[in-house]
Structures are given as structure tokens and as C-alpha cells.
Chain A
Amino acid sequence: MSEAVTALAGATYEGAVTVADGGLTGMVQLRADLADAAVATAVKAATGADLPDRRRISAAKEQRLLWMSPDELLILTDHGAAPDLVKRLSTELTGQHALVLDLSDARSRIRLSGQGVREVLAKGAPVDLAPGRFEPGEVRRTRIGQIAAAFWLLSETEAEVICFRSVAPFLFDWLSTAARPGSLPGHFR
């Protein structure tokens, strides 16, 4: 086995907001009709979690289930746990029209922390990030700058962003620039 490494090699930027490599993350993709009760049952059996509602995140133990589209779910878990999760899900979904893949190395995760995470994200994404309009528990797939990304808030001072691994250094630099000291307008405060 080769040793898994992240695209960002543990990079951290300390600005008005801290931008940091989110570390190795297990990511399992499920493509199936999320409106199908049998799919919900299988996901519950394999993860212990209910399917998230539209645009939302559900969780059980160390796993978080992200609603990506009406027929796509992304499950975040420990990096080492992904292969087993794929097996469990595939077993539970036997006979169903579904696809389960370990995509842990396809995307990178970046953590934002500090006052102003809403503003850093709002600089690059065409999303209303005002309090009350976008809250923890919700996931948004959109773009940041020119690239596809998805993000969610963990709290008022913590957010996570995922993007494709090949553009992770670009997004890290982009977010670091957006988080430069003195560059946040204080719009949401």
C-alpha cells in the first residue's frame, strides 16, 4: 500500500480567517434515487443515519451524509473507514439500481475558522450567506471563484469546503487571498 497524502500537505494560512488543509477524508459516493424508500433503508442500515433532506446534511457517528442532488449522496467518514463503508453499502443495496464508489482521493477538504467565514465564502460564491439564509446543517454546491466547490457551516466561526483534488492548491490560495487581514468588510456582523 502506498501512503495516502493530501493535495495540500497540511498547509495552513493564518489571516483574518484561518484556512487549513482539512486532512485525509473518506468520501463515499452513492448514486441512487434518494426518493426511493428502499435506498433510505439501505443507507440507514449501512451508516446508521437517515437520508438528509434536500440540500441538508445528516450525521451518525463519525459519518456525515451530504445531499448532492436528487440522486447523489456524498458520505464523509474517516479515511480508513471508506472501503468498509463501500462494502456495507453495496451489500445493503444488492439488487437496487445504485452505484457506490470510494472517491476519497477525488476531492480535497479545506477548513475555515474564525470570525468572518461567511464573508470569505461570500467573496467567491454566488450564494446568500447572510445569517438566517444559510445555516449550519445545510450544504451548498456551487462555485468559488471559477471552480466547482461545495461548502457548509459547522458553526458561525467554522466552515468546510470541498473541491476536486486537482484544484485544491488553487482554492487554498484563493481562500487565503480572500482571508487577508483587513480585507473583510464586516458585512454580516
Chain B
Amino acid sequence: MLILRCPYCGVDAEETDLAPGGEAHLTRHGPGSDDAEFRDYLFQRRNPRGVHFERWRHAFGCGKWFHAARCTQTLEVFGTYSAQCSEPPEEIMTAIRTRRPDWEMPA
């Protein structure tokens, strides 16, 4: 069972209180992009074994979207953070590097 702390309510919300939103920090390719970019934006997703960044929504609670950094292999949660950012904040990166010294942010 995955438990994530909603950064807006501050509650430790169990997975059944939440709705998953898939991979985080995607770059939107819309008008002006080529077909391959648009295809990748729509369909191509990382599926890492290990550190992953995701979007979740506190669906049964405050209704807000937020971000979570966790390990897909162990379900360890490195932290949750605001939806209003396009990359993980420094404290999340520090938490990940502390726990996974060999990990590198994928390009």
C-alpha cells in the first residue's frame, strides 16, 4: 500500500484516497511540433525500476494535484511536492541522492 503525504492537506493519504496521474514533468508538444514529438508526448513514458517522478491527485480529499518522487521497486517515497513546478525541488533531489547515491537524473 502506497501512502503519500498531500502537500496541501498535510495528511498521509493512502493510495485509495488518491488518483494516479502518470509520469511527471513531461514537456508538452503541441502546435508547431512535429509528429514524432507529438507522438512521444502523448504515448512515450519512462518505466523505470527505481526512482520515478509521478503526478498524483488527492481525489477524495482536497482535490489537488501534486508531485511525488518514489522508488518503483521498493515503494520507498522520497517526498511529495507542489504541482506548480516543472522540475523536482532541491530538497527532493537531496533526499533521493542521500538514499540512492548512484542514481542519476535521466536526460
Cβ contact within 8 Å between B11 and A70: no
Is A69 part of the contact surface with B, judged by Cβ < 8 Å? yes
Contact check: which of B13, B16, B17, B62 meets A70 at CB < 8 Å? B62
Cβ contact within 8 Å between B16 and A141: no
Is A45 part of the contact surface with B, judged by Cβ < 8 Å? no
Is A54 part of the contact surface with B, judged by Cβ < 8 Å? yes
In the bound complex, what is the Cα–Cα distance between A72 and B8 (angstroms)?
12
Cβ contact within 8 Å between B9 and A54: yes
In the bound complex, what is the Cα–Cα distance between A186 and B29 (angstroms)?
56
Least CB distance from A31 to B in Å reads: 11
Question: What is the total number of residues of chain A having a CB less than 8 Å from a CB of chain B?
Answer: 12
8 A Cβ contacts from B10-43 to A: 10-11, 13-14, 16-17
Cβ contact within 8 Å between A126 and B17: yes
Query: What mask results when residues 50 to 81 of chain A are scored 1 for a CB within 8 Å of chain B, else 0?
Result: 00001100000000000011101000000000
Given known pairs A54-B9, A55-B9, A55-B11, the reply for A142 and B64 (CB within 8 Å) is no
> Which B residues touch A140, using CB under 8 A?
11, 61
Q: B8, B11, B16, B64 — which one has the most chain A CB atoms within 10 A of its CB? A: B11
In the bound complex, what is the Cα–Cα distance between A143 and B60 (angstroms)?
6
Cβ contact within 8 Å between A143 and B16: yes
Cβ contact within 8 Å between B8 and A142: no
Cβ contact within 8 Å between A141 and B14: no
Least CB distance from B61 to A in Å reads: 5
Residues of A at under 8 Å CB distance from B?
Answer: 54-55, 68-70, 72, 126, 140-143, 148
